[in-house]
Amino acid sequence: MKGKQELRPEMYSDKRIVFVFQGLLCREYRYNKHMEAQKISKQDYPKLLEFLNQQLRPHVEWSIEAEYPQVFQTHNQSRMMVVKNNEGEILSHALYKVLPIKSIYGMIKLAAIGSVVTHTKHRGKGYSRKVVQACVDQAKSEGCELSILWSDLFDFYKGMNFYKTGYEYAFMVDRPLTEKQNHFHVGANVSASTIENLYRKQSFQVLRKTIDFEANLKIPKSYVYTLWDKSNKLLSYAIEGKGVDFTGYIHEWGGGVNSIKELLTHIYSYRQQNLTLIVPGHSVNLRGDLKNLGIKNHLGILGLVRLLGLESLTAKMNLYCKRLGYAVEFEATDNQSLVIRSGEEKVLLTGEEVILQTLFGPHELLGDKALNNFLQSKLKNILPLPLWVWGWDSI
């Protein structure tokens, strides 16, 4: 019986070695090519829903479609990216929704990225990066200026140029805030258009249609609280919960400051527990009233944001400053550099993280005294710009 034969390089010609390695490379290339991120096909869409329900919602009685009715729609399927194996099994997924936003500095397009998940057996292979990057690339091609996602994996997403950006205040409602004078109602059996009318008064809002409000009111575990005067006029509304998310958090609300405080008082009495109210940085009056009442609050970030179209964004900011008579000019050559001029002074910002946190905050993370002094002395009436996404629009 022959023993094991040692394989030595000289046993093969150079041509044979090259051929062997070329073959391996070709097979590897075909394998990687197949494993690139791609749009979900119409035929694979039911399989995708099954995958997401198993990976993200295994212990609930509703489908992910019901929880995110504005996202999982036919017209949004081209924005759903997957990685599949040779057998057609879905291994990883991410999607985005384009949010047209009305702000004080103009209409902007923001791509909200969500439902990022890789099958538990296939993690650590870079698939999540592929599907997220595919979302970013396509959103940029659609003219989106910013993209946002929500995650506590800060280092992972920082490697993909997503940075902590914006302000979010969390107020702990642990007692009544004012007297009860108006009628309180609990339940989603309210007119969507009536809710919409109050929402339209927000200074920073994602553009929604009445059918969007109708769909949102049906989201599982989404508790709707409303306050009405004696003539049955809606004074304020608040939304707590959204499927498996935002339990104990009021993530969307509308109405005047006094009516919001009264509504919170009713909700606190009804729930008999502490609640967290999420407040944008630009809601100065409400934040001031709550602080004066001694309500504890925590300052956090809005989310993880990536720049997609800085030149388009700064063009709108320049028009905004010109309209208000501010002698400030923003000049961007690409997503990596921004010059801000104020009179004879100017500052050069380099890198997306610094640019994002200068424009939208948190300024506390900049760590540059000269830049902070410039912002405080020259741009305190302009920056940080408001940036916000309400809970019903998060994905």
Identify the band that residue 4 occupies on the pLDDT scale cut at 50, 70 and 90.
very low
Considering the domain architecture, whether residues 317 and 294 belong to the same structural domain is answered as no
Residue 160 within a domain? no
Residue 106 within a domain? yes
Which amino acid, one-letter code, is at 244? Answer: V
**Residue where a domain stops, chosen among 300, 329, 346:** 300
Instruction: Please write the tens of the pLDDT for every residue from 126-140.
Output: 999 999 999 999 999
**CB within 8 Å of 94: residues ≥ 6 apart:** 80, 81, 113, 114, 115, 116, 117, 128, 131, 132, 134, 135
Considering the domain architecture, whether residues 212 and 248 belong to the same structural domain is answered as yes
Identify the band that residue 333 occupies on the pLDDT scale cut at 50, 70 and 90.
confident
The average pLDDT across 319-347 equals 93
Determine contact, residues 154/371, Cβ cutoff 8 Å. Answer: no
pLDDT over 60 at 103, yes or no = yes
Determine contact, residues 115/52, Cβ cutoff 8 Å. Answer: yes
Asked whether the CA dihedral 122, 126, 129, 133 is positive or negative, the reply is negative
Residue 242 within a domain? yes
- What is the reported pLDDT for 35? 82
Q: For a pLDDT cut of 90, what percent of the chain falls above it?
A: 87
Lowest mean pLDDT among 2-16, 34-48, 353-367: 2-16
Residue 392 within a domain? no
- What is the reported pLDDT for 2? 34
**Residue where a domain stops, chosen among 300, 316, 343:** 300
Considering the domain architecture, whether residues 219 and 331 belong to the same structural domain is answered as no
* Mean pLDDT score of the chain: 91
Domain residues for the domain of 225 are 169-300
- What is the reported pLDDT for 241? 96
- What is the reported pLDDT for 307? 97
pLDDT over 70 at 14, yes or no = no
Considering the domain architecture, whether residues 184 and 122 belong to the same structural domain is answered as no
Instruction: Please write the tens of the pLDDT for every residue from 218-252.
Output: 999 999 999 999 999 999 999 999 999 999 999 99
- What is the reported pLDDT for 360? 97
Considering the domain architecture, whether residues 296 and 323 belong to the same structural domain is answered as no
Considering the domain architecture, whether residues 176 and 236 belong to the same structural domain is answered as yes
Instruction: Please write the tens of the pLDDT for every residue from 256-314.
Output: 999 999 999 999 999 999 999 999 999 999 999 999 999 999 999 999 999 999 999 99
**CB within 8 Å of 198: residues ≥ 6 apart:** 234, 236, 237, 254, 255
pLDDT over 60 at 340, yes or no = yes
Identify the band that residue 12 occupies on the pLDDT scale cut at 50, 70 and 90.
very low
User: Using CA atoms, how far apart are residues 125 and 121, in angstroms rounded to an integer?
Assistant: 10
Burial tier of 75 (Cβ tally within 10 Å: 0-12, 13-18, 19+): exposed
Considering the domain architecture, whether residues 318 and 287 belong to the same structural domain is answered as no
Determine contact, residues 257/228, Cβ cutoff 8 Å. Answer: no
Considering the domain architecture, whether residues 328 and 238 belong to the same structural domain is answered as no
Q: What is the CATH number of the domain that holds 245?
A: 3.40.630.30
> Secondary structure of 59-116 in the HEC alphabet?
CCCCCHHHHCCCCCCHHHHHHEEEEECCCCCEEEEEEEEEEEEEECCEEEEEEEEEEE
Considering the domain architecture, whether residues 185 and 140 belong to the same structural domain is answered as no
In degrees and rounded to multiples of 5, residue 212 shows phi and psi of: -70, -45
Considering the domain architecture, whether residues 291 and 312 belong to the same structural domain is answered as no
The average pLDDT across 104-119 equals 97
How many domains is the chain built from? 3
User: Using CA atoms, how far apart are residues 395 and 135, in angstroms rounded to an integer?
Assistant: 13
Residue 387 within a domain? no
Residue 20 within a domain? no
- Bridge partners of residue 340, in order along the sequence: 330, 347
Considering the domain architecture, whether residues 194 and 278 belong to the same structural domain is answered as yes
Considering the domain architecture, whether residues 86 and 37 belong to the same structural domain is answered as yes
Residue 19 within a domain? no
Residue 3 within a domain? no
User: Using CA atoms, how far apart are residues 246 and 256, in angstroms rounded to an integer?
Assistant: 23
Considering only CA atoms, give the Rg of the chain. Answer: 25
- What is the reported pLDDT for 34? 60
Structure tokens belonging to residue 384: 């940080």
